Amino acid sequence: MNKFTDGLGMQFVKVGPLKGKVGSQKDRISTPVHESKAEQLWFGVTEVTIGQWKEYFRYNLSHQWGMWDTVSRYAPDDDHPILCISLEDAMEFCRTMTELEGVRYRLPTEEEWELVARNGGSNAYIGDDEFFALTDEYEHSFPVRQLPPSELGIYGMRTNAWEWTQSEFLPYPDSKADHPLYSRMAWVLRGGGFRYPTDVWKRNPSSDKIRNFTFGLRVVRKPTN
């Protein structure tokens, strides 16, 4: 079985183990290109949707969020990605889902995220020139399955919502780049928002408390067999 649907209606596809190169010479904070790997896991087929986020609140009434008015301006329907999510919100969601499902839910690391986005089911490194930033910029988000999926059957990894990872924003191994946030407790988002479509190696650092209107989440689930 390579696909799974959980009790909240979130769909996952089994990926990995993967290994390959991540990073880019085209972006200062994404250098250098280096080897990475990901263990086998269930990877979210789509970003968490508004409908799934609503269902989540049936189980966690204590989560103080209150961003519905802002979300409704940019994501009008239940099949759009939930937006205005901070890292703290995303971690609370994962904790609740772990309790409900009895198996660990978490955010992907940024290198897991990039390996899945790059490899498309193989371990071959896809060079920078074979990727390009999407040129369409939307005023609103769009349904999570609107664009075609990857070879793995995964949707929307380069647009729609920036997706939180569990990775702290630090320089890559052997990097000579500097950045003012490297020592300021920032975390990495990946994938690009509907206003900011981007490439698979782009690292977007942010505080764990920021609820930007383009910030969402995608989760992974530990395999049970």
Tell me what pLDDT residue 225 has.
54
Could you tell me the two tokens for 87? 């890292």
Residues in the chain: 225
Binning pLDDT at 50, 70 and 90, where does residue 120 land?
low
Q: What is the mean pLDDT of the chain?
A: 87
Q: How many helices (H) and strands (E) does the chain have?
A: 4, 13
Q: pLDDT-derived band of residue 131, with 50, 70 and 90 as boundaries?
A: very low
126 versus 30: the higher-pLDDT residue is 30
Helices (H), 120-195: none
Please state whether the peptide bond connecting residue 108 to the residue before it is cis, i.e. omega within 30 degrees of 0.
Answer: no
* Interval 52-61 mean pLDDT: 94
Q: Are 191 and 198 in contact (CB under 8 A)?
A: yes
Query: 141 pLDDT exceeds 80?
Result: yes
Q: What does the alpha-carbon distance between residue 205 and residue 190 come to, in Å, rounded to a whole number? A: 9
DSSP helix/strand/coil, 74 = helix
- pTM of structure: 0.90
